[in-house]
């Protein structure tokens, strides 16, 4: 009797669960589940395939045909039709050839597709991607696709976000006029990320007025950047770094993007001339990177109104004027003015994390505020006029090379110790670790240059670390 009751209860609760489940989420169509499973079996899972992700997880591992595919990791279905409309397999450790006839192309209802940060080395981007006519978001970045980006991508006329960021050695490129076609046809595009794809053309005039983000760093662009880019209202971020053949002429009148523009990365483009006063209207600007743009003259007065700037890099130009003006930017975290003609004395800034003033004409003493800045991690004051005094406790980088200074270091080292080779190395490491720098972890740059000569081992380590960091930064297109 008790057993019958129990059995009845179990059956009842099972039925309840089934009813509850089916009212919550639709069963995904069998053919779409099958297509996904076929796709899954084209790849192996490799711990190295998503090595550059902060978090990676093999999402396809949980895919199981006895479970409704709408609840698989990375798969999302339409609530009314039950069709698979989103597939997000970013950082999923997938490794293998991406076939041109992949079963993925059967998921014709997809609106968002993210295959970024996997390893499809040697695979071409199939022209069939152009058949996902409902796509609004497509991300194929850093998955080692190679070869030509097919013209069929231009058929995705609903795209709002297109991201095919690459590494140079993948040799992804556009055929002649295909980038033009793309911009002409994708009239709803808001974000375009194509860094390190070989575009090798001029930037055409014809682009979406919805654009907010244009990320075309290291794409072999040439010609003159159309001024229209600066006049897109709502425009937020422009990255054209590492395009030395590209000429940028800033508008001299107020830009239509003035209120919205936050990030301007124009590192190593040709912007020969002065910084125009029109920059003074960019009230939202956070990051300004004009490294090595052949800029000259002094900083125009209206620029000192840009009080929101946090990262400023004007290295390797011919700019001049008193350094003290920069210390009006109260929010600055990173300030790099190295290799210019700035002069004068140093003043105070609270939020600084990195300060690079090397190769200018600064003089006087290093003011004590530098050593009380709570966040400062890097300081480079090499090759200036006549800076004196040095005392540091917790910097990752301190460079005072080529200053005629009297070094009083907290480490108590002198030239004799430096030349002792291996034994000196041990004591330096011990001292550095004692100061809590990330020497062993190797993620922070650590080099200390007190004079023109420093131990060879130190220089080796310095170069090696710098290479690692530069590689990492390039990989993620993060320049800071
Ligand atoms: C799929 O799920 C069933 C039932 O939950 C389980 O028995 C089976 O081992 C799973 N298969 C895989 C490949 O995970
Ligand atoms: C895709 O093409 C390859 C040969 O290129 C073939 O071996 C494979 O069976 C095809 N797969 C599908 C799903 O048609
Ligand atoms: C995929 O997921 C990641 C993190 O879970 C998210 O940042 C990204 O925007 C998603 N991609 C798309 C196209 O929605
Ligand atoms: C441009 O988009 C339309 C759909 O809006 C499409 O029919 C056409 O083929 C596309 N042109 C190219 C060259 O891709
Ligand atoms: C980029 O493509 C152009 C022509 O398409 C070619 O001449 C050039 O060598 C390529 N550049 C790189 C760095 O691959
Ligand atoms: C793009 O070019 C076509 C003709 O070449 C022109 O009619 C159209 O107005 C242009 N669109 C934009 C946004 O400039
Ligand atoms: C800037 O915006 C104004 C007002 O919206 C508009 O009239 C003008 O044509 C725009 N300028 C450019 C160069 O796009
Ligand atoms: C900059 O600020 C000054 C006053 O602090 C103001 O007179 C001037 O109009 C501002 N310039 C711009 C371009 O906003
Ligand atoms: C840099 O600017 C100077 C004028 O200030 C000009 O003579 C020179 O040609 C420019 N160099 C490059 C590489 O554009
Ligand atoms: C400071 O700037 C100079 C000039 O661009 C550069 O050579 C040096 O490596 C920079 N220092 C640091 C610590 O990044
Ligand atoms: C520092 O430079 C300024 C401006 O170049 C100059 O007026 C001043 O005399 C210099 N001071 C020292 C101590 O060299």
CA of 158 to the centre of ligand 4 (A): 10
For 21, what's the count of Cα atoms within 13 Å in the CB-facing half-sphere?
A: 12
CB of residue 178 inside a 6 A radius of ligand 3: no
In whole angstroms, what is the distance from residue 287 CA to residue 128 CA?
Answer: 38
Report yes or no: 476 and 216 within 8 Å, Cβ to Cβ: no
The residue whose CA is least distant from atom 9 of ligand 1 is 64
State yes or no: pLDDT of 127 exceeds 50. yes
Identify any residues that bridge with 313 across adjacent strands, giving them in sequence order: 289, 336
How much of the chain, in percent, has pLDDT values that exceed 70?
72
State yes or no: pLDDT of 39 exceeds 70. yes
Integer angstrom CA distances of residue 375 from 227, 233, 341 = 38, 35, 27
Question: Cα-atom radius of gyration of the chain, to the nearest Å?
Answer: 28
CB of residue 206 inside a 6 A radius of ligand 6: yes
In this structure, the dihedral spanned by the alpha carbons of residues 61, 63, 67 and 70, taken in order and rounded to 10 degrees, is 130
Give the 3-state secondary structure of residue 75.
strand
In whole angstroms, what is the distance from residue 286 CA to residue 262 CA?
Answer: 5
More confident residue, 65 or 7: 65
Question: From the CB of residue 471, how many other CB atoms can be counted at a distance below 10 Å?
Answer: 10
Report yes or no: 267 and 289 within 8 Å, Cβ to Cβ: yes
The predicted model gives 188-194 an average pLDDT of 97
Tokens 């639709």: give the residue: 26
DSSP string, 368-384: GGGGG-SS--EEE--S-
Question: From the CB of residue 129, how many other CB atoms can be counted at a distance below 10 Å?
Answer: 21
Helix or strand holding residue 468 (H, E): helix 456-476
Phi and psi at residue 209, to the nearest 5° = -80, -5
State yes or no: pLDDT of 380 exceeds 90. no
For residue range 62-101, what is the model confidence (pLDDT) as tens digits?
999 899 999 999 999 999 889 999 999 999 999 999 999 9
Closest C-alpha to 116, from 138, 132, 101? 138
In whole angstroms, what is the distance from residue 8 CA to residue 463 CA?
Answer: 74
Tokens 């609840």: give the residue: 71
The predicted model gives 380-401 an average pLDDT of 57
Ligand with smallest separation from the Cα of 257: 7
For the chain, counts of helices (H) and of strands (E): 6, 27
The residue whose CA is least distant from atom 7 of ligand 11 is 344
pLDDT at 270: 97
Helices 422-434 and 456-476: crossing angle in degrees, nearest 10, is 50
Helix or strand holding residue 239 (H, E): strand 237-239
pLDDT at 354: 84
pLDDT at 266: 97
More confident residue, 455 or 55: 55
Task: Please choose from 41, 62, 64, 65 the residue to mutate so as to test ligand 1's pocket, defined by most ligand atoms within 8 A of CB.
Answer: 64
pLDDT at 126: 97
CB of residue 181 inside a 6 A radius of ligand 4: yes
pLDDT at 451: 25
Tokens 């194509």: give the residue: 194
> Hey, what are 73's tokens?
């990791």
Model confidence band, residue 388 (pLDDT cutoffs 50, 70, 90):
low
pLDDT at 395: 52
Indicate which atom in ligand 4 lies nearest the CA of residue 155.
14
Closest C-alpha to 435, from 451, 457, 411? 411
Model confidence band, residue 318 (pLDDT cutoffs 50, 70, 90):
very high
The residue whose CA is least distant from atom 11 of ligand 4 is 155
Report yes or no: 341 and 318 within 8 Å, Cβ to Cβ: yes
Task: Please choose from 74, 90, 190 the residue to mutate so as to test ligand 3's pocket, defined by most ligand atoms within 8 A of CB.
Answer: 90
Report yes or no: 118 and 92 within 8 Å, Cβ to Cβ: yes
More confident residue, 84 or 472: 84
The residue whose CA is least distant from atom 11 of ligand 5 is 198
Model confidence band, residue 439 (pLDDT cutoffs 50, 70, 90):
very low
The residue whose CA is least distant from atom 2 of ligand 2 is 101
State yes or no: pLDDT of 456 exceeds 70. no
Phi and psi at residue 215, to the nearest 5° = -120, 90
The answer for 147, left when phi > 0, alpha when psi is -120 to 50, beta otherwise, is left
CB of residue 363 inside a 6 A radius of ligand 11: yes
Model confidence band, residue 375 (pLDDT cutoffs 50, 70, 90):
confident
Per-residue 3-state assignment (H helix, E strand, C coil) for 156-205:
CCCCCEEECCCCHHHCEEECCCHHHHHHHHCCCCCEEECCCCECCCCCCC
């Amino acid at each position: 009797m008790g057993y019958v009751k129990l059995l009845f209860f179990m059956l009842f609760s099972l039925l309840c669960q089934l009813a509850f489940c089916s009212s919550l989420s639709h069963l995904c169509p069998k053919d779409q589940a099958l297509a996904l499973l076929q796709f899954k079996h084209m790849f192996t899972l490799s711990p190295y395939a998503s090595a550059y992700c902060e978090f990676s997880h093999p999402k396809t591992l949980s895919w199981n045909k006895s479970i409704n595919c709408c609840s698989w990791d990375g798969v999302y279905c339409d609530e009314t039709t039950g069709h698979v409309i989103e597939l997000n397999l970013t950082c999923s450790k997938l490794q293998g050839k991406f076939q041109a006839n992949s079963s993925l192309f059967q998921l014709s209802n997809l609106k968002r597709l993210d295959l970024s940060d996997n390893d499809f080395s040697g695979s071409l981007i199939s022209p069939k991607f152009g058949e996902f006519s409902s796509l609004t978001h497509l991300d194929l970045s850093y998955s080692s696709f190679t070869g030509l980006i097919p013209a069929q991508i231009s058929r995705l006329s609903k795209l709002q976000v297109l991201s095919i960021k690459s590494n140079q050695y993948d040799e992804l490129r556009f055929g002649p006029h295909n980038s033009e076609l793309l911009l002409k046809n994708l009239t709803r595009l808001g974000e375009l990320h194509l860094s390190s794809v070989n575009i090798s053309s001029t930037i055409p005039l014809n682009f979406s007025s919805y654009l907010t983000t244009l990320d075309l760093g290291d794409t072999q662009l040439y010609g003159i950047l159309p001024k229209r880019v600066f006049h897109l209202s709502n425009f937020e971020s422009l990255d054209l770094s590492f395009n030395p053949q590209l000429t940028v002429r800033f508008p001299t009148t107020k830009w239509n993007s003035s209120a919205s523009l936050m990030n301007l990365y124009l590192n190593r483009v040709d912007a020969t001339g002065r910084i125009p006063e029109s920059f003074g209207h960019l009230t939202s600007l956070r990051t300004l990177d004009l490294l090595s743009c052949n800029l000259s003259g002094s900083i125009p007065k209206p620029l000192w109104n840009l009080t929101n700037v946090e990262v400023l890099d004007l290295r390797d130009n011919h700019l001049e004027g008193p350094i003290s003006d920069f210390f009006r930017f109260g929010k600055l975290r990173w300030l790099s003015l190295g290799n210019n003609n700035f002069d004068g004395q140093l003043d105070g800034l609270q939020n600084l994390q990195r300060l690079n003033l090397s190769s200018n004409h600064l003089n006087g003493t290093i003011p004590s505020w530098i050593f009380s800045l709570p966040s400062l991690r890097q300081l480079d004051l090499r090759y200036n006029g006549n800076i004196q005094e040095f005392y540091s406790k917790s910097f990752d980088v301190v460079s005072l090379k080529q200053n005629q200074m009297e070094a009083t270091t907290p480490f108590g080292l002198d030239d004799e110790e430096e030349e002792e080779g291996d034994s000196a190395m041990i004591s330096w490491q011990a001292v550095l670790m004692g100061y809590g720098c990330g020497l062993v972890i190797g993620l922070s740059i650590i080099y200390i240059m007190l004079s023109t000569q420093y131990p060879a081992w130190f220089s080796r380590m310095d170069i090696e670390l710098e290479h690692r960091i530069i590689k990492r930064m390039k990989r993620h297109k993060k320049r800071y």
